[in-house]
Amino acid sequence: MAEPTESRRPPLRLPQDCSIAAIRGVYDLIRDAFSRQDSLEIDCSSVAKADVTSIQLLLSTAKTGQARGRQVVLTAFSQSLRNTLRRAGFTSEAMAGHPFNEKKDGEQWPPS
């Protein structure tokens, strides 16, 4: 597996469709970015379609980042993604905050 070569890159913007229909593409996108970057900032502002698979992918990304000592930051949660998270029960900060690093500026997980 290729070692990460760059530490700073623009945020990875998730596509509009992060539902099961397109999740494999999103997965490839994240894995690709993960293999090339030391830290990963994921911009969730464009996500218009989300479901259980989107949440799981984000959780897995955060978990992998934690395990590898690589920073994973999720920012700018779209309303759609927030709604999906709430529906899945990620409502309390304590619960939602565990898997992710927080970003000090801008919107961040957990949603306010």
- As measured in angstroms, the least distance from the Cβ of 7 to other proteins is 19
Decide: is 19 part of the binding site for other proteins (CB under 8 A). Answer: yes
57/105 with CB nearer other proteins: 57
CB-based contacts of 46, cutoff 8 Å, min separation 6: 13, 14, 15, 16, 78
- As measured in angstroms, the least distance from the Cβ of 92 to other proteins is 9
CA dist 80 and 73 (Å) reads 19
Choose one: 2-10, 74-82, 84-92, 104-112; the region binding other proteins (CB under 8 A).
84-92
